[in-house]
Structure formats: structure tokens, C-alpha cells
Amino acid sequence: MLEFITKLFGRDNGSKNVAKERLRLVLVHDRASISPQMLESLKLDLIQVISNYMIIDEANLEVNLDSSGSTVALVANIPVKGMKRNAGDA
């Protein structure tokens, strides 16, 4: 009930927070001078390399750029399902 009233009177911060996060990501990408296509290519390369050593959950993998002051960091959240015994094992 409270959720309905909150949405009715415009106090829902969900869309505001989503828009704020999107803007933050755009700004970080701009500061790092990296296009979304380049980030996607980097993500695919990371998957390929890490998959040589670990079994990962590619569907839930997240790769983002994050900024702290004048520094930009690559942040990867890669769920690991298991380790491979030998590099290149399926």
C-alpha cells in the first residue's frame, strides 16, 4: 500500500536512481575515453582468458568502469563456478 502511495505522489526514487547511475556510467566512460563497444570487447577478452583457468558464470558477469576522483578503475564481478584442473579444459 505504501509503495502505491509513494508512486502516486511521485516520491519513488527508483527511476531517479537508475537515471543517476546511467549518467554516472556515461561520465566515467567519457573520462576514461573508452567507448561502450571497447568495454564490451574487453569483457569478451576477459571471459576468454579467465575461462582458460576457471569455470565462470558468463550470464552474471559484470564489467564496469568506476571513478574515484581523477582515477578510473576497471571493476569486474565474475562469478566462479569452479576451477579447471588443466588450462584449456572444458
Distance (Å, rounded) from C-alpha 88 to C-alpha 68? 36
Q: Given a cut of 60, is residue 28 above it in pLDDT?
A: yes
Average pLDDT in the chain: 77
Q: What are the domain boundaries of the chain? A: 2-83
Closest C-alpha among 11, 1, 89 to residue 53: 89
| pLDDT at residue 80, rounded to an integer | 94
| pLDDT at residue 27, rounded to an integer | 65
DSSP one-letter string for 31-89: HHT--HHHHHHHHHHHHHHHTTTEEE-GGG-EEEEEEETTEEEEEEE--EEEE-SSTT-
Give this prediction's pTM: 0.55
Torsion of CA 34, 45, 63, 35, to 10 degrees: 20
